[in-house]
Amino acid sequence: MSFSFDVKEDILKLNMDSSSHLIELESWLRLAGEIYLNPIRLAFSSSNLHILRYYVGILKQFYSNISFEIASKQQKKLNRKTIYSCIIETNAEGIIDEMNLLEPISIRKDEILNEVNFTRAYLRGAFLAKGSVNDPNTSNYHLEITVDKEIEALFIQRLMNVFNLNARIAKRRNHLIIYIKEKDRIVEFLRRIGANVTMNEFENAIIKRELSANVNRSLNTEIANQQKTNRSSVEQMEYISYLEYNYPLERLDSKLLMVMKVRKENKEASLNELVDIINETYNENITKSGLNHRLRKIKEIALDLRARKEE
């Protein structure tokens, strides 16, 4: 099953007050419902039977005199998912009128915007109807809700941004999507709609990914530093060997001779490690800058000697 499926199953476990349930039901019907005329019927569908039964249960809470029929149909294309549908015939007109479903936006939009529990309930219904979120184990963080009408898209975007989620709208084929890309804001959206278990899974996946990325960055930096150290060591050894074969060493400063000896004995050591060795072995309080200066002096003497030999 997908991560979106897990989020929706998580949401279904949430307990809410009846007024929030009614707002959530309206949101669901606006996005997942269809109205038929002659005779008037109200239908809604989902690929998740649990969600369908959940909303049938809410409908029965508020409209005890409805009669409905549940059917299933397997898609012929794509992944051949089974789609479950509920068709309401008795009292369908009453539900449509009470929720004003023929209008493009809720008559209770101001209540929904100004009451946090109603805002959350409307977003919950919208996500259960037409929402999806990428698996956090992928590198592409993305949550979206798909709608058909621009006025509904703008309303849902406004509701999301009540919680500072930086929701945006884009067009995809014949639909509009309200989407969030930032991982922290996706986590906040999941928290707001009550998907607490999957929100924690999302956060944990982010933490694991970031820890792994930090370890890899640290390892790559360490490898790069070691390669740089190795190249420097090879170059330094080249100058040291040249001087040993071509220069009277008794004319060299004793401090340079000591550095040459330490480098020969510790070919893979970094400058910091060489500093520690010199400080401990020779009891000389040399700094990294001081060691660099001596190594540059060895190089200068070797290059000067080579240039004079080639003249």
Q: Alpha-carbon distance 180 to 126, whole Å?
A: 14
What CATH number should be reported for the domain whose range is 3-194?
3.10.28.10
pLDDT at 1: 74
Q: Alpha-carbon distance 73 to 78, whole Å?
A: 14
Q: Compute the average pLDDT of residues 139-144.
A: 90
pLDDT at 151: 95
- Six-digit token string for 184: 């922290």
Q: What is the mean pLDDT of the chain?
A: 88
| Predicted confidence (pLDDT) per residue in 111-120, tens digit | 999 999 999 9
pLDDT at 212: 74
pLDDT at 79: 67
Distance of CA 182 to the CA centre of its chain: 7
| CATH code 3.10.28.10 region(s) in the chain | 3-194
Measured CA distances, 230 to 6, 145, 184, 259 (Å): 51, 54, 41, 17
> Side chain identity at 88, as an amino acid letter?
I
Query: Cβ distance 72 to 113 under 8 Å?
Result: no
Structure confidence at residue 78 as a pLDDT band (50, 70, 90) = low
Structure confidence at residue 241 as a pLDDT band (50, 70, 90) = confident
pLDDT at 5: 93
Query: Cβ distance 182 to 141 under 8 Å?
Result: yes
Distance linking the first and last C-alpha atoms of the chain? 77
| Predicted confidence (pLDDT) per residue in 195-211, tens digit | 999 999 999 988 888 78
Q: Alpha-carbon distance 22 to 112, whole Å?
A: 11
pLDDT at 180: 97
Helix, strand, coil % over all residues of the chain, rounded to 5: 60, 15, 25
Pairwise pLDDT comparison (192 vs 255), residue with the higher score: 192
| Predicted confidence (pLDDT) per residue in 23-64, tens digit | 999 999 999 999 988 888 999 999 999 999 999 999 998 888
